[in-house]
Amino acid sequence: MANAVVEEKHDNVGKKGINAIELDKDQISLVYWFTEGSGKKFVSRGSYELEGIPGTLFRRAVLNRDRWEYVKSRTELLGRKT
């Protein structure tokens, strides 16, 4: 049994979901991953772009999206010492 493979089954994405930052080419997005039925209520009531992974209860809501260069420039501007 030393070579036995143990499979883990994950039914939930966190307790109420998780927030993440995703980078895709020139875009940066703040997203919320959750399991359908146990996510925060603001997501289902809002007008957020929702996507799902086919065959699962995992859902992804895009909370905000912008160009990476814009966010980087703003961060650099706000971080300058005067």
With a cut of 50, say whether residue 5 has pLDDT above it. Answer: no
Nearest CA to 21 out of 53, 63, 75, 78 is that of 63
* Arithmetic mean of pLDDT over the chain: 82
Is position 74 within any domain?
yes
Using DSSP, state whether 73 is helix, strand or coil: helix
Residue of 49, 43, 14 whose CA lies nearest to 29: 49
Q: Is the pTM of this model over 0.75?
A: no
More confident: 18 or 8:
18
Number of domains in the chain: 1
* Residue 13 within any structural domain of the chain: no
Q: Is residue 1 part of a domain?
A: no
Between 16 and 56, the more confident residue is 56
Residue 45 in domain: yes
Residue 65 lies inside a defined structural domain of this protein: yes
Give the residue among 67, 65, 37, 31 at the shortest CA–CA distance from 50: 31
User: If pLDDT is split at 50, 70 and 90, which confidence band does 3 have?
Assistant: very low
Mean pLDDT to the nearest integer, 11-31? 87
Measured distance CA(27)–CA(65) in Å, rounded:
7
Which of 6, 46, 8 has the alpha carbon at shortest distance from 34? Answer: 46
Residue 82's pLDDT is what? 66
What residue numbers bound the domain in which 68 lies? 18-79
